[in-house]
Amino acid sequence: MKPVVFTDLDGTLLHPENYSFRDAEPALKILREKKIPVVISSSKTRKEIELYRRELSIADPFVSENGGGIFIPEGYFPFRVGGGSVDHYRVIVLGRPHGEVREVLRDIARELGVDIRGFTDMSPKEVAELTGLTEKEAILARERDFVEPFVCTGDSRILNKVLREIEKRGLNWTRGRFYHIMGDHDKGRAVRILADHYRRLYGKILTIGLGDSLNDEPMLREVDMAVCVAKRDGSYEPFRVEGIIRADGIGPAGWNNAIISIIERLQGQETHGG
């Protein structure tokens, strides 16, 4: 049985304050040695994820913008993969075009008289100040294909009105570090598609998912083993996922501990013929 790891980035594999993955390096080394696929499934854009894939030495498929797009390196699977071809990827598009969802958000802001600002309404410097990214990284965060992260000035009552308007207009929203407006897609749907490809490649697989925020719940519902890592204050997102594992540690430290524990458990089962 081949393990396949699906992981969020922000606050999970990356530390919620400094975006470092250093604490996860021991587990990442084990996964590389065992040739276990690591599929990044993030709210980040394609270009942001590509940057981290290079830093992490990961060459597996990835999922961008909360499931909006699946990017599979050409030739990765030894069979034909659906979708179009962009650069060196086969791309399966699940999301609505970014321009459409961005315009809906602007319409809602005008009609409600609410101050809503999406990432693409901000300068790279403003995005950097809001997120803690460098300005270079903020430029990549603004180059969006499917989803618009946004901030809303006002209290929870105003925010709830905005979220209801998004739903009335046939779109969806989710929450990571920020709220996001998006089409009819999520990380879970993307995971189902990729898991089917991995089953075709390996036969029996064990899917492992790791996340920390509401936008990870669809992904965690789809995997065999779901892991919730702690937030920066040590709390855990109250996921409604049966049998979920609470990792011991914040962000990449919890990620590391959970992956090592799971791999050791699987090795023990193999040793004892389980």
Q: 155-187: string of b/e by CB count within 10 Å (b at 16+)?
A: eeebbeebbebbeeeebbbbebbbbbbbbebbb
CB-neighbour burial class of residue 274 (10 A; exposed 0-12, middle 13-18, buried 19+):
exposed
Angle, in degrees to the nearest 10, between helices 251-271 and 25-33: 40
Q: What are phi and psi of 107, to 5 degrees?
A: -60, -45
Q: In 3D, which of 37, 38, 47, 48 has the Cα closest to residue 10? A: 48
- 248 is an active site residue: no
Of 8, 60, 145, 216, catalytic: 8
Q: In 3D, which of 260, 259, 257, 252 has the Cα closest to residue 16? A: 252
> Do β-strands 2-7 and 38-41 pair in parallel, antiparallel, or remain unpaired?
parallel
- Token pair belonging to 115: 């101050």
Query: Residue 260 belongs to what H/E stretch?
Result: helix 251-271
In angstroms, the CA 74 to CA 87 distance is 9
Amino acid 154 reads: G
Query: Active-site residues: which are they?
Result: 8
